[in-house]
Amino acid sequence: MLDDEREAAHPYGMQYAERYYYIDQRTPELSKVDDYVNRHAIPL
C-alpha cells in the first residue's frame, strides 16, 4: 500500500517519504515570441 512512498524515500536514506508536486498558480507571462506572434499572426 505504501510502496510508492517507500520507493520515494529510498534515495534519501529514509523509510517513507511523501512526494510533493508544486503547481504554480501564477499566470504565465508571454515571451517576446508569443507577443510577436499574437500581434502579427493572420487567421486562416
Mean local confidence (pLDDT), 17-38? 87
* Average pLDDT over all residues of the chain: 90
3-state secondary structure the chain: CCHHHHHHHHHHCCCCCCCCCCCCCCCCCCCHHHHHHHHHCCCC
**Buried b / exposed e across 1-24, counting CB within 10 Å, b at 16+?**
eeeeeeebbeeeeeeeeeeeeeee
Q: Domain residue spans in the chain? A: 3-40
Mean local confidence (pLDDT), 14-26? 88
Does pLDDT of 13 surpass 90? Answer: yes
Identity at 27, one-letter amino acid code: T
pTM: 0.44
Better-scored residue on pLDDT, 7 or 21? 7
pLDDT of residue 10: 94
